[in-house]
Amino acid sequence: MSHISSSGLNTPESELESLVPVHPTSARRPYSLVVQSENTSYSDEYITSKFTNRGADVVVSDGQFIVTPTSKPYEFQTARKVSKTGLMLIGMGGNNGTTLCATVLANRHNISWHTKSGAQQPNYIGSMLRASTVRLGMDASGKDVHVPVSDVLPMVHPDDLVIGGWDISGVPMDQAMKRAQVLDWDLQRQVAPHMARIGKPLPSIYYPDFIAANQEARADNVIPGQDKQEHLERVREDIRRFKRENDLDRVVVFWTANTERYSDIIPGVNDTADNVLASIKKSHSEVSPSTVFAVAAILEGEPFVNGAPQNTFVPGVIALAERHNSFIGGDDLKSGQTKLKSVLAEFLVNAGIKPLSIASYNHLGNNDGHNLSAEAQFKSKEISKSSVVDDMVSANALLYKPAEQGAVKGSKAAKGEHPDHVVVIKYVPAVGDSKRAIDEYYSEIFCGGRSTINIFNECEDSLLATPLILDLTILTELLTRVKYRDASAQAEFAPLYPVLSLLSYMLKAPLVKPGTDVVNSLNRQRNALEAFLKACVGLEGSSDLLLETRIW
């Protein structure tokens, strides 16, 4: 008798070690946060909350700012039952995929291992949900009370995820983990039997034009043929089978494979939902593998998250997600240098200091670095890394002259003032997954002075990326359970908008609702997410006014 494991392979049942949890979700400690308020009510099925969204309308007239405070009441309804959730990784056999599988298994089986520093216990450090807290308020003695972010609302525990996926490389998962050279040897030794019993990933889609030519040698596990419509149907069937065989309520499809080149946006090809679908049927050359996976997930009604910088979400894909009310999020995991840049650039600008140039140099030796050594793939990464300071610059017209209306298109005046921003990535095999990043921030200070800040950042790339993949997956599942309505109109509860901009905290180039501004500020992204989670239980966002400590 055979059984389909969560990797999709037929494996003898006696040897099966699928990434299905070995314990029931119900064994987790119960959700413990209870809000006693007229704004919050609990039923067996839902947490329902009332929330007033406060803002301001601003009119600028003859140099005067006329501000009108606004408020609008909403109600949120969050399903309390956590979905039994699957995570299907595209690039399952890569550095991120194998690291995620191995570390979830280590946590699930409580495998400890020895390093040169001593015994190491498995944990989820680096996960915003599992390893950081939010402030609820004060206790009777006036001390702040904090709880884990994961306690604000019922969420999936990482140990309970059912994991599977695809990869163009057919190397079995234990050998793929060894090839990645990310984890300590003693951990690899202990987790290898579990990884071996998973088998190898499902065959994936390989279009050589979209990734570097140096990846061809790895592409021995691909869906055959050139018919992109057949590939789409094959992926859809993979998702359905994975969901059915593992008795899942929800599947999150996640791209953590190679960075692709950018797709050209062509009218009639990928600009509308119907055109994207027609282009897949015609096997058009500008339909990328990641777009095929995204469309498959959308048509199956399952969320898709893009963890790489390419433009998977061409306009037609966003329109398709809107049509099917299917959730999407991206782009590009924000793990190391870019996260630091979004903090430091904001610090400088908010301090009234004017960065004149930001130069970023990276070198790494993993397969991501190998793929990015090709110009077209590097360009995708350069775009996602370069936009991270844009909103901070545009927010301060005292330091940076804004774009002039009516200026000649393409001129400096039309673009507005902006720091010089240079990004360099080099492939250095010897350093493996240990990425080196060197940043120089060259700024103007008081009365023509200059300040230079140099930062050297060494990080283990996949060990920073893996918790982000888990957080994005868990948040995505949560957001599928949240509905809202306009309380003033007594409308019906409806799902959130399909583009999940609340995922922005973990992403370099956040995908947002067309026509709205992108927020790259890490503090604003974190505050928005925290405020939303609190709103769903009827609490106001964090206030650092601490008025009670400043008055008699």
Structural domain boundaries in the chain: 337-460
Contact 210, 262 (CB under 8 A): no
Task: Give the end-to-end CA distance of the chain in Å, rounded to a whole number.
Answer: 75
Q: What is the pLDDT of residue 425?
A: 84
Q: What is the pLDDT of residue 135?
A: 93
Domain 337-460 sits in which CATH superfamily? Dihydrodipicolinate Reductase; domain 2 (3.30.360.10)
Query: Per the structure block, which two tokens stand in for 208?
Result: 């050589």
pLDDT category, 31, cuts 50, 70, 90?
low
Contact 60, 147 (CB under 8 A): no
70 has which bridge partners? Answer: 55
Q: How many other C-beta atoms can be found within 10 angstroms of the C-beta atom of residue 209? A: 11
Contact 155, 47 (CB under 8 A): no
Average pLDDT over residues 183-188: 97
CA angle, residues 138, 139, 142, in degrees to nearest 5: 70
4 has which bridge partners? Answer: 10
- What does the H/E/C string look like for 100-160? HHHHHHHHHCCCCEEECCEEECCCCCCCHHHHCEEEEEECCCCCEEEEEHHHCCCCCCHHH
Q: Which of 310, 363, 312 is nearest to 336 (CA)?
A: 363
pLDDT above 80: residue 115: yes
Q: pLDDT tens digits for 277-291? A: 999 999 999 999 999
pLDDT above 70: residue 194: yes
Average pLDDT over residues 154-167: 97
What lies within 8 Å, CB to CB, of 348 at 6+ separation is: 354, 355, 441, 443
Handedness of CA 164, 170, 171, 176 (dihedral sign): negative
Contact 465, 366 (CB under 8 A): no
Average pLDDT over residues 332-349: 87
Q: Report how far residue 291's alpha carbon sits from residue 63's, in angstroms, rounded to the nearest whole number.
A: 46
Give the CA distances from residue 544 to residues 144, 350, 534, 548, in Å, rounded to whole numbers and listed in that order: 11, 17, 15, 11
Contact 530, 542 (CB under 8 A): yes
Q: Work out whether strand 328-330 and strand 304-306 pair parallel, antiparallel, or are unpaired.
A: parallel
354 has which bridge partners? Answer: 444
Average pLDDT over residues 227-232: 98
Q: What is the pLDDT of residue 338?
A: 82
**371 residue type, one letter:** N
Give the CA distances from residue 534 to residues 27, 74, 499, 539, in Å, rounded to whole numbers and listed in that order: 25, 13, 20, 5
Q: pLDDT tens digits for 531-542? A: 999 999 999 877
Q: What is the pLDDT of residue 378?
A: 66
Q: pLDDT tens digits for 197-213? A: 899 999 999 999 998 88
Average pLDDT over residues 89-113: 97
- For the chain, give the mean pLDDT: 89
- Whether the link from the prior residue into 331 is cis, omega within 30° of 0, is yes
CA angle, residues 148, 99, 321, in degrees to nearest 5: 70
Q: Report how far residue 249's alpha carbon sits from residue 247's, in angstroms, rounded to the nearest whole number.
A: 7
Share above pLDDT 70 across residues of the chain, in percent, rounded to a whole number: 90
Catalytically active residues are: 332, 381, 435, 508
Q: pLDDT tens digits for 243-275? A: 999 999 999 999 999 889 999 999 999 999 999
Average pLDDT over residues 379-407: 79
pLDDT above 90: residue 416: no
Q: What is the pLDDT of residue 17?
A: 45
pLDDT category, 373, cuts 50, 70, 90?
low
Q: What is the pLDDT of residue 423?
A: 87
Q: Report how far residue 149's alpha carbon sits from residue 131's, in angstroms, rounded to the nearest whole number.
A: 8
Residue matched to tokens 């990535």 = 425
Higher local confidence (pLDDT), 537 or 546: 537
Q: Report how far residue 289's alpha carbon sits from residue 177's, in angstroms, rounded to the nearest whole number.
A: 24
Greatest mean pLDDT among 15-29, 312-326, 327-341 lies in: 312-326
Contact 222, 205 (CB under 8 A): yes
Q: Report how far residue 203's alpha carbon sits from residue 90's, in angstroms, rounded to the nearest whole number.
A: 10
pLDDT above 60: residue 26: no
Burial string for 11-24 (b: 16+ CB within 10 Å, else e) reads: beeeebbbbbbeee
Q: Report how far residue 304's alpha carbon sits from residue 165's, in angstroms, rounded to the nearest whole number.
A: 13
Q: Report how far residue 143's alpha carbon sits from residue 146's, in angstroms, rounded to the nearest whole number.
A: 10
Contact 436, 369 (CB under 8 A): no
